[in-house]
Amino acid sequence: MPYIGQAPAPKVITSSDLSADVITEAKIADNAVENEHLNANVITGHTALGATPADTDELLVSDAGTLKRVDFSYLKGGGAFEKLITTTVSSPVASLEFNNTYFTTAHVDYQLRIVDFRGSAGAVPFFQISSDNGSSYKSGSGSNGYRFGYFGCNEASGTFNTGSGGNDDANFLLPINSDGFHGGTTQAVSMIIDIFDPLNTQSDAKLFNFMASSVNLNSSDDINYMAGGGIYNGSGDEDTAFNAIKIDMDSGNIDGGTFTLYGRKI
């Protein structure tokens, strides 16, 4: 209906004339929101993720001025190895296990880095493998079983020595000096264990194999550096997938240490 008489004067609309949330997305023109309209807390005002983003989590990036979304998997840095878990032993335990939660086809090779590894006095650490997720661990005897060789250097004498774990086919012997752990909590072992394709994803003709190195003090307070490698020479296990490992001791307990497992992707 047209006005009768003179039309009312135009009135400027202010924020008080609008109900809360009355402007919908459909009423905002495309490309109308410029950077000056974004509050400084547009990011910090939201709930924190609190963890490393998953590979499929999305982020917003400017590709030469064009906004695009990108999966985190394209942006994450780091080297070939990805940290899977860190376990800290602060009170004595009989053994430490890592199972198929961590040994998966997402990775090919693995590395276990051990810092401040301490055990019962005189004890020597063992290393065992499992193909049924830790329900049982492989054993052996004679020519079949855990075969291990090492070399070492004694700082005080400057002499080198070699040895074999062949007399203990039921376990891999990890390379620390023959008198084992000793002398209290300050005389710990640092160790790296490299495990190569335990799931046999790259070959059907490879026995389980690994290499390890360590440095520690012996009972005379001499520095000993040792390195070695082992193969599980189990008949018929050339194509077996091993999906769990266990660290334990020939006597006593693991008294302390930080154990971090990494996986390598291709």
| The pLDDT of residue 123 | 85
Structure tokens at 190: 């640092």
Q: What is the pLDDT of residues 33-77, one digit of tens each?
A: 888 888 888 888 889 888 888 888 888 888 888 888 988 877 776
Q: Can you tell me which residue has the tokens 């053994």? A: 95
Q: Where are the alpha helices (DSSP H) in the chain?
A: none
Domain boundaries, the chain: 81-264
CATH of domain 81-264: 2.60.120
pTM beyond 0.75: the answer is: no
**Cβ(122)–Cβ(216) below 8 Å:** no
Long-range contacts of 101-106 (CB under 8 A, 24+ apart): 102/261, 102/263, 103/198, 103/199, 103/242, 103/243, 103/244, 103/245, 104/199, 104/263, 105/199, 105/201, 106/263, 106/265
**Cβ(126)–Cβ(172) below 8 Å:** yes
Q: Can you tell me which residue has the tokens 């190195």? A: 213
